[in-house]
Amino acid sequence: GENVEQHPSTLSVQEGDSAVIKCTYSDSASNYFPWYKQELGKRPQLIIDIRSNVGEKKDQRIAVTLNKTAKHFSLHITETQPEDSAVYFCAASTPPSNTGKLIFGQGTTLQVKP
Amino acid sequence: DAGVIQSPRHEVTEMGQEVTLRCKPISGHNSLFWYRQTMMRGLELLIYFNNNVPIDDSGMPEDRFSAKMPNASFSTLKIQPSEPRDSAVYFCASSPKLAGGTDTQYFGPGTRLTVL
């Protein structure tokens, strides 16, 4: 079955710096890769997603890149702000692709220091 | 839209008691997922339903756990009997599951369960 590995487990950056979180997946049939942000005591919320027919997607300060050949995808946050501090989860769909099932990474705790 | 609704938000019970967690998915969504989140194991998928039918319950830890979805607007996760190691935050999520593709899952606020 699909397996998703996420690195690093913790990341500390200075406000204004960039942050990058990487995930690898095992099943080449996976075709949907969302990223969720979970603030302390809150629910996971989708921040950006990408499908396998696209290599990169941006939304203001966040972007996601996908390398299907290498089976990895990354979240990039530029000009980080203290409110970006949270746990970030990557996920990958599992075949058959129409089940809706996602496999989540273990999460990355991002700390943005003011 | 009210989003995914879960109840109760907090539950404290004693070991051996039955616990029932409830979820109302977003109207019109076809898929419903139950997750458990702990510091040690992260976010674990327990079971999910498509069109009210259980598709994959391989994540259910043991026979003490059961889940039902009697109609498109309601699901329950039951633990009987409960044990201290079941203490966790339980999330319900729903997805519109577009035909032929995986779609975004929307999470409820979660139920924080503490078993003493």
Q: How many CB atoms lie within 10 A of CB B7?
A: 13
Q: With contacts defined as CB-CB under 8 Å, which chain A residues touch B101?
A: 31-32, 51, 97-98
A98 pLDDT tier (thresholds 50, 70, 90) = low
* pLDDT confidence band for A96 (50 / 70 / 90): low
Q: B29: which residues sit within 8 A by CB, 6+ positions away?
A: B94, B95, B96, B97, B106
CA distances from B91 to B1, B48, B96 (A): 18, 12, 17
Per-chain mean pLDDT for chain A: 92
Between CA B9 and CA A46, with CA A48 as vertex, the angle to 5 degrees is 5
Whole-angstrom distance, CA of residue A75 vs CA of residue A57: 10
Out of B31-35, B57-61, B96-100, B109-113, pick the least confident.
Answer: B96-100
Mutate to test the interface with B, among A39, A102, A106, A108 (most CBs of B within 10 A): A102
Task: Band the pLDDT of A89: cuts 50, 70, 90.
Answer: very high
What pLDDT, in 10s, does the model give residues A15-30? 999 999 999 999 888 8
Mean pLDDT over each residue of chain B, to the nearest integer: 92
| B31, B91, B109 ranked by CB distance to A100: nearest | B31
- Distance between CA atoms of B84 and B61, rounded to whole angstroms? 14
Give the model's confidence band at A48: pLDDT under 50 very low, under 70 low, under 90 confident, else very high: very high
The residues with which A108 forms a beta bridge, in sequence order, are A88
Label residues B82-116 b or e (16+ Cβ within 10 Å = b): beeebbbbbbbbbbbbeeeebbbbbbbbbbbbebe
CB within 8 Å: A43 and B109: yes
Provide, as residue numbers in chain B, all residues whose Cβ is less than 8 Å from the Cβ of A44: 43, 91, 107
Separation in Å, CA of B65 to nearest CA in chain A: 20
Beta-carbon pairs below 8 A across chains A and B: 65
**A1 touching chain B per CB within 8 A:** no
Each residue of A70-81: pLDDT tens digit? 999 999 999 999
Whether cis (ω within 30° of 0) applies to the bond prior to B25 is no
Q: pLDDT higher for A3 or A74? A: A74
With beta carbons less than 8 A apart as the criterion, state whether B104 and B95 touch.
yes
Kindly report, residue by residue over B68-92, the tens digit of the pLDDT: 999 999 999 999 999 999 999 999 9
C-alpha B23/C-alpha A64 separation (Å) is 31
Residues A73 and A83: beta-carbon distance below 8 Å: no
